[in-house]
Amino acid sequence: MRTVLGLLLLAPFALAQPPGGFGPPRPGELFPPFVLDQLALTDAQKKTLDAIQKDVDAKLAKILTDAQKKELKEFADRRPGDFPFPGGPGPGRPAERDPFIPRGERVTPADKPRDQPKAVTHSPEAVRAAVEKALPVLWKGIDGHTAKRDCFTCHNHTVPLLALTAAKARGFDVPDKKLAEQTAFIVEGFEAMRERMLDGRGPGPAPTGGGADNTAYALFTFEILGLKPTPTTEAVATYTLNFVRRGDHWFTPAGRAPTEASDFTTTALAVRGIQKYGAEKDRERIGKRVEAVRGWLLTAKPKDTEDRVFRLLGLKAAGASALELADAAKGLLAAQRETGGWGQTDKLDADAYATGTALYALHTAAGIRTDDPAYRRGLEFLLGTQRADGSWYVPTRSRPVQRYFESGFPHEKDQFISCAATGWATAALAFDCEKK
């Protein structure tokens, strides 16, 4: 409620959401569509507000000069990320603090230090044991979140399921029944929102993870689970495609580092998902979007590991050449630390989240083998930082956007990022195991 009230105070310069996306603000708008949706207005209230809005628009048209109207049009045509969302400045806007801090990140440093890696020598037995130890705690995170919340998440669904399916493919015990239960939970949730998706309203109230950053991860999850195209997956892809009607890439309004703070992340997952699940009638649009995304990714400058990881994954999804992929991989490899791990930013210590994502991208997008020295060093970092309970600990950098609850995954208020880190780390380790 506090977030909604804060947004209402922005009127008449409220954040507007045109059909299909969370777009630039339209001066003079009383309420953004997603706020109206949350308020569940009666037909009479909607009719009254429509009349007020028309009156406001008419009065603005009379008092503004032609030059001012032109300026407002240029404002509305700006790239969506070029205006501030709650939580911090958008891309291209100066931050009045240390520029390495992503949007939405806590300005104060984390109160718990990252784990320092123990010296562990790589062996097939050590890798399999680490994966085996991680599987039960990943299930805790998934089951606990599903039991207490009715929403799909990237941190407690997508990434843990990525790890579990990768482990299953290599002979680890991952029950089909439990995977089917989670698949049903996710699919049913999006089936209930199908009309919202087709109507351009999205999965939830933006900007806190309810836009294309959510649906792009959902499309990735559908792929992870091996889902075939259905009307529901098509609706999610359609919403994602329409989220940005102009421009050459997607943006994320949430500002929740690291998983929902990078335009590279949303773009990479979105361009991958719309190609697999997009509607047949949209194939020409999808082809043009893929081409535009590839051009953006080739020229955009990544600032941290999340950007570098998903730039590489995005280039792979957008059909970049082998030479272009190798060049992107080179930049990611250059950020590897002496410990073998990667840090989320150049100023932070290496951790399992950044290391797991880096290894995943290098292996799946750049074709780097798991016996490559750089990959092997990354695995040893992960082996040396896994905790006794099977998890990896990473302190959060994001401001909370929901009331705290226990999902069953360790690390209390750091559980979401730690669950995602454990998923990425487990997947990276599972890739090194022989298939059985």
User: Which residues, including other chains, have CB under 8 Å from residue 171's CB and lie 6 or more apart?
Assistant: 433, 435, 436
| Structural contact between residues 212 and 264, judged by C-beta atoms closer than 8 angstroms | no
- pLDDT score for 74: 59
Cα separation values, 89 from 32, 105, 107, 315, 365, Å: 19, 11, 13, 26, 31
Q: Could you give the CA distance from residue 260 to residue 101 in angstroms, rounded to a whole number? A: 13
- pLDDT score for 75: 53
**Tokens matching residue 39:** 């308020």
pTM score: 0.77
- pLDDT score for 374: 98
CA 436 to mean position of chain CA atoms? 32
User: How high is the mean pLDDT of the chain?
Assistant: 84
Instruction: State the residue for tokens 């998902």.
Output: 273
- pLDDT score for 232: 97
For the chain, count helices (H), then strands (E).
17, 2
Q: Could you give the CA distance from residue 315 to residue 311 in angstroms, rounded to a whole number? A: 6
- pLDDT score for 9: 36
- pLDDT score for 26: 65
Q: Express each pLDDT in 19-55 by its tens digit.
A: 333 444 466 778 765 456 556 678 898 889 889 988 8
Q: Could you give the CA distance from residue 378 to residue 122 in angstroms, rounded to a whole number? A: 10
Residues in the chain, pLDDT under 50: 1-25, 34, 77-110, 208
Nearest to 237 by CA among 275, 293, 211, 196: 275
CA 65 to mean position of chain CA atoms? 41
Could you give the domains of the chain? 2-78 (no CATH), 124-430 (1.50.10.20)
Cα separation values, 62 from 11, 27, 56, Å: 19, 14, 10
